[in-house]
Amino acid sequence: MRIFWVLLKKELRAFFVSPMAYIVLALIMVLNGFCLRAALSLLESAPSEGSIVTWTFDAIWFWLSYFFVFPLLTMRLFSEEKKMGTFETLFTAPVRAWQVVWAKYIASVIIYCVLWVPSYLNFELLDWITLGQIEMPTGALKGSYLILFAMGLFNLAMGCLASALTSNQIIAAIMSFTASLLHFLVGLFISVIGRQVNETFVDITNYFASREHIRTFTNGLIDTRPLVYYTSLALLFLALTHQVVEYRRWRS
């Protein structure tokens, strides 16, 4: 475990000393600031059944930018090592492939969680400024960040696999973005089709539809099925990443 912690600290240090950390943080802050302001404008214009949490996270303008986060976080994880020639050097040390994969993945998860802290503080600040006059359901707020965390585990795992498959960071970013967006669009398409058939099929399609997942959690309803779904897929993609890294390790 000592080697794992050393690798994890190395990854975190490498990210936070690079400009990419602050570019991604700025992107998240701008995205959340815009979504929060748009939600406030919507609630000011007319009465609505949804809370400010629902309108912030269950909005199309949120999803238009959300999927750019994962390529920026993961594109350099393995691609940079291979491009700079340090991938082979790394494995001359007594390290295992799973330690490298998990260290890089956990580092990206930690950074991903840190990026959402300013967003949560925005809600706390808004609640303090308005003296609680704006309805801000605690369950909906916590549920929103819980599903974002679960979806992040899945999308970051896909990004890790994309980075392990190529030495070009741009290609890795495109692959990660495309995979994340396709999963969202397929889930959305299946969800729309499901509304035209029986209820059993609708329940099945809800496993795939990210939009339905975020809608459920932003309403304060905690469903364990999406959590199991995203966690299982994350483990699957990490297993695939491990196989790719192990293969490249012995081939080199």
Per-residue pLDDT reduced to its tens digit, 223-244 = 888 899 999 999 999 999 989 8
Instruction: Write down the pLDDT at residue 191.
Output: 60
Q: Using an 8 Å Cβ cutoff, are 213 and 227 in contact?
A: no
Instruction: Indicate if the pLDDT at residue 30 is higher than 70.
Output: yes
CA angle 178, 179, 184 (to 5 degrees): 95
**What pLDDT band is residue 86 in, cutting at 50, 70 and 90?**
low
- Top pLDDT among 138 and 228 is at 228
pTM: 0.86
Ranking 93-102, 129-138, 179-188 by mean pLDDT, the lowest is 129-138
Domain carrying residue 232: 1-251
Task: With CA atoms as reference, report the closest residue to 31 among 5, 63, 6, 70.
Answer: 63
How many domains are there within the chain?
1
- Identify the H or E element spanning 64: helix 60-66
- Top pLDDT among 71 and 51 is at 71
Average pLDDT over residues 179-198: 71
221: left (phi over 0), alpha (psi -120 to 50) or beta: beta
Say which DSSP state 153 is in. Answer: H
Instruction: Indicate if the pLDDT at residue 85 is higher than 80.
Output: no
Report the Cα 66 to chain-centroid distance in Å.
8
**What pLDDT band is residue 84 in, cutting at 50, 70 and 90?**
low
For residue 59, report the phi and psi dihedrals to the nearest 5 degrees.
Answer: -125, 145
